[in-house]
């Protein structure tokens, strides 16, 4: 380990690993620190991701692909099922291996990795972040760097210490509870999404297969719903009704900040990536691919900034992210606000109308168009996403 | 000794034995008043305003109101 690094990345999830890798590829020194004992564990994720988003960064490998998905099944409150075939495909991952592989890919280009290093403060000089304070095996330590990249997930405390308002409104936080269950029967090529006030008001309920007899089953509800009923209580209700005898292999909780990206994701000496920057698709809650994209952009810019000795160059990251995905996420956020306020009757009607469209002609765009047919402003937003 | 609520009548209490350390509460805390390590969580008394946002956001009912006050070491 060196005495100081050009760049320190806090957090070794997908966004952190990609930030570290893309920075190191510019020939600068990078240290990635992780608070937990393991990279990739514990998992706090439903593990579904579009193929395209992953394959931009890593060669597909059977060791971390648990299911190959080609259909989405939307289940309305009255049980009407609308099936959408997806050409581009998706995976259900084994995140504990996937994250490991991403970190390995970063280490291959020279990133040093330190686990069990809990960052608990920043070092400042002339109002610029110049390093981190951390606890390692009971000892308080410090290490300096030109740039700190905060990839510390939904907690997003590192950014706060740099003066950025990172906390998420509790009404936008999707609070999730999930179990991985075995000894069930499920089509391993379909992602199932349930909607409605009985299963997941202000969110959705998912059953994502990880094989023909195993699945991630869980849901997210926002903090407003959580005031009267917790995600765990919804999950228990669903399980006792649908799978009373399932064996539970894993049970986890998690928070997904489902709102548009933070207004500011860089400041002198610091950049935010992944969930910490709220680079989550606010509609789906998916954050693996978008976090990796955010990480890669930040890493590249950070590396170039060090190489060119232009510290201010990192401030161009906000615009680069906005152009690549941030703009889209604002639109998704508007759509989300519409969709999550739908009544059960509305969900039922949408599913029934969608089923009248022939299979070959069903697209996600058409589904949303149906959903928002009485919401002209949102329809315009949809057009922006799927047409422009 | 009991920790007492500073504002309002409600006092927030985390039950660390039941916690999954998911970070949801930390992400919604406006005061940065929750410390979360790998398998350790506690409220920073000096910063907490008992606003209850963490209570509503906890997916697995680990953060609760405690009317008596919370025993502190």
Query: What's the complex ipTM?
Result: 0.93
Residue-level pLDDT at A48: 96
Let me know: does A291 contact A273? Beta carbons within 8 Å.
yes
Looking at A100-109, A306-315, A375-384, which range is the least confident one? A375-384
Stretch B13-37: mean pLDDT: 94
Residue with tokens 């930390």: B26
Find, among B27, B18, B15, the residue nearest to B54 by Cα: B27
| Of the partner residues A157, A233, A255, the one whose CB lies closest to the CB of residue B57 | A255
Mean of pLDDT over chain A: 94
Residue-level pLDDT at A23: 98
* pLDDT single digits (tens) A128-166: 999 999 999 999 999 999 999 999 999 999 999 999 999
Contact call for B26 and A254, based on CB within 8 A? no
| Nearest chain A alpha carbon to B38 | A36
What length is written for chain B? 73
Q: How many CB atoms lie within 10 A of CB A108?
A: 10
Residue with tokens 């509609």: A283
Which of chain A's residues have a Cβ under 8 Å away from the Cβ of B38?
Answer: 35-37, 116, 118
Let me know: does A302 contact A311? Beta carbons within 8 Å.
no
Residue-level pLDDT at A296: 98
Q: List CB contacts of A159: < 8 A, sequence separation 6 or more.
A: A150, A152, A166, A262, A270, A272, A276, A277
Stretch A118-125: mean pLDDT: 98
Q: How many CB atoms lie within 10 A of CB B9?
A: 8
Q: How many CB atoms lie within 10 A of CB B26?
A: 25
CA-atom Rg of chain A in angstroms: 21
Residue-level pLDDT at A375: 73
Among A37, A170, A238, the strongest candidate for a mutation testing the B interface, having the largest count of B CBs within 10 A, is A170
Structure tokens at A368: 């949303």
Which of chain B's residues have a Cβ under 8 Å away from the Cβ of A238?
Answer: none
Contact call for B59 and A167, based on CB within 8 A? no
Residue with tokens 């928070």: A255
* pLDDT single digits (tens) A246-301: 999 999 999 999 999 999 999 999 999 999 999 999 999 999 999 999 999 999 99
Sorting pLDDT into bands at 50, 70 and 90, what band is A388? very low
Contact call for A254 and B27, based on CB within 8 A? no
> Looking at CA atoms only, how far is residue B10 from chain A in angstroms?
15
Residue-level pLDDT at A275: 98
Looking at A46-50, A200-204, A209-213, B68-72, which range is the least confident one? B68-72
Contact call for B28 and A160, based on CB within 8 A? no
| Of the partner residues A154, A160, A233, the one whose CB lies closest to the CB of residue B24 | A154
More confidently predicted of A370 and A6: A6
DSSP type of residue A362? -
Phi, psi values for residue A19, rounded to 5°: -60, -45
* pLDDT single digits (tens) B40-69: 999 988 888 888 999 999 999 999 887 666
| Of the partner residues B24, B37, B56, the one whose CB lies closest to the CB of residue A254 | B24
* pLDDT single digits (tens) A146-156: 999 999 999 99
Residue-level pLDDT at B68: 67
> Looking at CA atoms only, how far is residue A50 from chain B in angstroms?
24
Which of chain A's residues have a Cβ under 8 Å away from the Cβ of B57?
Answer: 170, 173, 175, 223, 226, 255
What length is written for chain A? 388
Q: How many CB atoms lie within 10 A of CB B64?
A: 14
Let me know: does B67 contact B12? Beta carbons within 8 Å.
no
Sorting pLDDT into bands at 50, 70 and 90, what band is A379? low
B46: left (phi over 0), alpha (psi -120 to 50) or beta: alpha
| Of the partner residues B22, B38, B56, the one whose CB lies closest to the CB of residue A36 | B38
Separation between Cα atoms, residue A203 and residue A200, nearest integer Å: 5
Which of chain A's residues have a Cβ under 8 Å away from the Cβ of B20?
Answer: 42, 251-253
| Nearest chain A alpha carbon to B23 | A155
Using a pLDDT cut of 70, give the percent of chain A over it: 97
Sorting pLDDT into bands at 50, 70 and 90, what band is A386? low
> Looking at CA atoms only, how far is residue B43 from chain A in angstroms?
14
* pLDDT single digits (tens) A319-355: 999 999 999 999 999 989 888 888 999 999 999 998 9
Separation between Cα atoms, residue A344 and residue A201, nearest integer Å: 9
Phi, psi values for residue A92, rounded to 5°: -105, 125
Contact call for B59 and A254, based on CB within 8 A? yes
Contact call for A170 and B57, based on CB within 8 A? yes
What SS3 state is found at A100? helix
Separation between Cα atoms, residue A177 and residue A238, nearest integer Å: 12
Let me know: does A162 contact A41? Beta carbons within 8 Å.
no
* pLDDT single digits (tens) A16-60: 999 999 999 999 999 999 999 999 999 999 999 999 999 999 999
Separation between Cα atoms, residue B70 and residue A27, nearest integer Å: 52
Q: Is A298 exposed, middle or buried (0-12, 13-18, 19+ CB in 10 A)?
A: buried
Contact call for A175 and B37, based on CB within 8 A? no
Let me know: does A255 contact A154? Beta carbons within 8 Å.
yes
Which of chain B's residues have a Cβ under 8 Å away from the Cβ of A156?
Answer: 27
């Amino acid at each position: 380990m060196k005495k100081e690094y050009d760049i320190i990345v806090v957090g070794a999830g997908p966004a952190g690993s990609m930030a570290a890798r893309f920075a190191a590829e510019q020939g600068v020194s990078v240290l990635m620190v992780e608070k937990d004992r393991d990279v990739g564990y514990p998992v706090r994720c439903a593990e579904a991701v579009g193929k395209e988003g992953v394959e931009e960064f890593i060669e597909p490998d059977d060791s971390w692909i648990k299911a190959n998905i080609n259909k989405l099944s939307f289940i309305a409150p009255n049980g009407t099922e609308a099936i959408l075939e997806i050409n581009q495909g998706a995976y259900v991952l084994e995140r504990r291996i996937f994250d490991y592989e991403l970190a390995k890919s970063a280490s291959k280009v020279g990133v040093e990795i330190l686990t069990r290093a809990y960052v608990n403060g920043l070092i400042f000089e002339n109002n610029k972040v110049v390093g981190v304070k951390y606890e390692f095996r009971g000892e308080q330590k410090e290490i300096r760097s030109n740039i700190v990249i905060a990839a510390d997930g939904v907690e997003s405390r590192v950014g706060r210490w740099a003066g950025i308002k990172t906390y998420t409104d509790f009404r936008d936080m999707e609070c999730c509870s999930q179990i991985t269950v075995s000894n069930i029967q499920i089509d391993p090529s379909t992602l199932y999404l349930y909607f409605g006030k009985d299963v997941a008001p202000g969110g959705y309920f998912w059953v994502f297969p990880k094989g023909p007899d195993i699945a991630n089953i869980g849901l997210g509800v926002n903090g407003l719903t959580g005031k009267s009923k917790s995600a765990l209580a919804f999950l228990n209700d669903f399980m006792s009704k649908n799978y009373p005898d399932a064996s539970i292999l894993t049970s986890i909780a998690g928070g997904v900040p489902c709102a548009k990206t933070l207004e500011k994701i860089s400041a002198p000496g610091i950049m935010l990536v992944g969930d910490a920057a709220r680079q989550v698709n606010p509609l789906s809650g998916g954050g693996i691919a978008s976090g990796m994209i955010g990480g890669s952009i930040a890493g590249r810019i950070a590396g170039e900034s060090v190489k060119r000795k232009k510290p201010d160059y990192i401030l161009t990251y906000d615009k680069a992210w906005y152009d690549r995905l941030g703009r889209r996420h604002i639109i998704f956020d508007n759509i989300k606000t519409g969709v999550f306020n739908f009544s059960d009757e509305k969900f039922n009607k949408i599913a029934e109308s969608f089923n009248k469209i022939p299979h070959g002609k069903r697209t996600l765009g058409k589904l949303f168009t149906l959903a928002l047919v009485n919401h002209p402003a949102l329809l315009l937003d949809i057009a922006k996403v799927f047409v422009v | 000794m009991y920790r007492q609520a500073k504002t309002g009548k409600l006092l927030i209490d985390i039950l660390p034995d039941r916690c999954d350390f998911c970070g949801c509460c930390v992400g919604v805390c406006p005061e940065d008043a929750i410390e979360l390590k790998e398998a350790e969580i506690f409220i920073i008394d000096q910063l907490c305003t008992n606003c209850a946002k963490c209570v509503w956001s906890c997916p697995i009912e680990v953060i609760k109101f405690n009317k008596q006050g919370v025993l502190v070491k």
